[in-house]
A = this chain, B = another copy of it.
Amino acid sequence: MQGLMMDRQLTITSIMEHADNNHPNAEIVSVTCDSPRHRYTYADAFRRTRRLANALIGYGVRPGDRVATFAWNDYRHFELYYGIAGVGAVTHTVNPRLFPDQITYIVNHAEDRLVFVDPLIVPALEKIKDDLPCVEAYIILTDDDNMPDTGLKNAQSYESFIGSQPDRIDWPELDEKTACCLCYTSGTTGNPKGVLYHHRSMVLHTLIGISTDCFDLSVRDVVMPVVPMFHVNAWGLAYGAPVAGTKLVFPGPKMGDGATLQALIEEEQVTYSAGVPTVWLNLLKYLDETGKQVGTLRRVVIGGSACPRSIMEEFEERHGVYVNHAWGMTEMSPLGTFNTLKPEMQKLSREEQFAIREKQGRALYGVEMKIVDDENNELPWDGQSTGLLKVRGPFICSDYYNTGVPSDVHDGDGWFSTGDVGSIDAEGYLQITDRSKDVIKSGGEWISSIDLENTAVGHPDVAEAAVIGVPHPKWSERPLLIIVRKEGSEVTGEAILDWLRDKVAKWWLPDDVVFVDEIPHTATGKIQKTELRKRFSGSE
């Protein structure tokens, strides 16, 4: 028997209309290429979004069409998030930091008809424009006064594009499974693969993301997403803030600039932020150098890669900012787990608390997890058993966009193989110990390269560390530690191994240490272990 409830669809349009009705005067503040501090309200934003939607329809954008954005976190990108999805088209956010070959591949694979691009990113696109035949026109995210001189096809300013359009529209009633956004995930090998979100998945992800034990967004908060809108939907904050009526502060192209972040926090009274570890290093360094404060900031969420404990401690001890660890993937919209302490854990010592807080956290409602062994047998949640992590849920992708072949990471039984290896404890806390392809198998046991790296970077002379497995006749593989020394340091490998000796299991101790000037990274900042393996172990 079916229930008798209204069949209202979960759409991004409904988020926009909720904010427009209930939070018309909440502010959105942006740093952009053409304005050091642009300021307007949700009502203004959605009035312009309706003009944008009319412009898109007028241009001939049809439901299902892909429209690319190459943009920072700012108000025009925010309007694009809602305007493109609102007319039933697909917002294809592209990471401008990808390599030109990858961008070319992605735009052509997505068959983007229109490209919205920030003036600062125009030069990068000019270099590859002849390789992007599908793109019909480029809309530059500025006004006519600030238009760069460009050879991009049919270039037009954003302000002139939406300029003469009416600000009224009857939004189409969309089915909640209509595609709304597309984001490519670039592995370390092979071509990038597209994750095609739909309205329903985005709304559910948003509702869970703003809940008290996750982002905890309220109408009283001021949130500054430092995680980019060009990648994994800014962790959902650009949808969550309008649901809660939260003031939004967008740092634009200045996400990596500690001075800008500090000024925005203090002047706009930011209470809450989120981003990857690197951006926080920049901010903390700036605070350290200048003695400036971030007085209103109460909480920061760190994800994207494992958060070093030193960042947590510096935020908390020196600035009174609580840090929550989170974990997710592009394929998961992206939120998967979030780390908050349970009440009985409040009584633990600081050390015991950190042992929990450095884990990735508990699954959010809507995310089912399991860990399995090599034969796909489910392993217990005992904090010890380590296996491949699989996930399932209504905002996890079921396949990649238009690959022509079935996904090799989606099981017949509906689970997605994350490629991460880890354990889950009896209280539900996930600890990721490795990527499955990076795990080191030594004498039949697994050694966590991530654990070793995190321990090694604790050494005062180590700037960065990577661990890979190298072939070994007796143990099959043994760990090799690759180190970038801090400037001026001449620490020896022997000294580092000595230092590690009482910090890791005896059989985990690397057999050797090599020093390099630089460790190679992917465009999203991850260590490129394939390159290291090519160089140091002769394998891939």
Contact = CB atoms under 8 A, between A and B. Distances in A.
Given A21-B363, A392-B8, A2 B218 contact: no
A10 B394 contact: yes
Interface stretch (A122-130, A154-162, A176-184): A176-184
Contact of A219 (B2, B6, B175, B340): B340
B216 A212 contact: yes
B365 A18 contact: yes
Given A5-B397, A179-B1, A342-B245, A23 B198 contact: no
Interface string A245-256: 101000000000
Interface stretch (A200-208, A316-324, A462-470): A200-208
A10 B392 CA distance: 13
B220 A343 contact: yes
A12 to B, nearest CB: 12
Contact of A414 (B6, B199, B212, B245): B6
A192 interface: no
A392 B207 contact: no
Interface stretch (A132-140, A398-406, A505-513): A398-406
Given A25-B427, A363-B22, A201 B342 contact: no
Interface in A143-201: 175, 177-180, 195-201
A463 to B, nearest CB: 37
Interface residues of A, number: 78
B210 A2 contact: no
Count this chain's copies in the assembly: 2
A378 interface: no
Contacts of A427: 22, 24-25
Given A213-B244, A343-B219, A362 B4 contact: no
A428 B21 contact: yes
A47 to B, nearest CB: 15
A17 interface: yes
Contacts of A344: 25
B394 A8 contact: yes
B207 A211 contact: yes
Interface string A1-33: 111111111100011011001111110000000
Interface string A365-402: 11011000000000001000000000011111111110
B244 A6 contact: no
A217 interface: yes
A426 interface: yes
A258 interface: no
B428 A365 contact: no
30 contacts: A1-B63, A1-B90, A2-B179, A2-B198, A3-B178, A3-B179, A3-B199, A4-B195, A4-B398, A6-B394, A6-B396, A7-B394, A7-B398, A8-B392, A8-B396, A10-B394, A14-B366, A21-B368, A22-B362, A22-B428, A23-B342, A23-B428, A24-B426, A24-B427, A207-B211, A211-B244, A212-B212, A213-B219, A213-B244, A245-B342
Given A1-B63, A4-B196, 17 more contacts: A2-B177, A2-B179, A3-B196, A3-B198, A6-B416, A8-B394, A10-B394, A21-B381, A23-B342, A207-B211, A207-B365, A210-B211, A212-B217, A212-B218, A213-B218, A218-B340, A220-B342
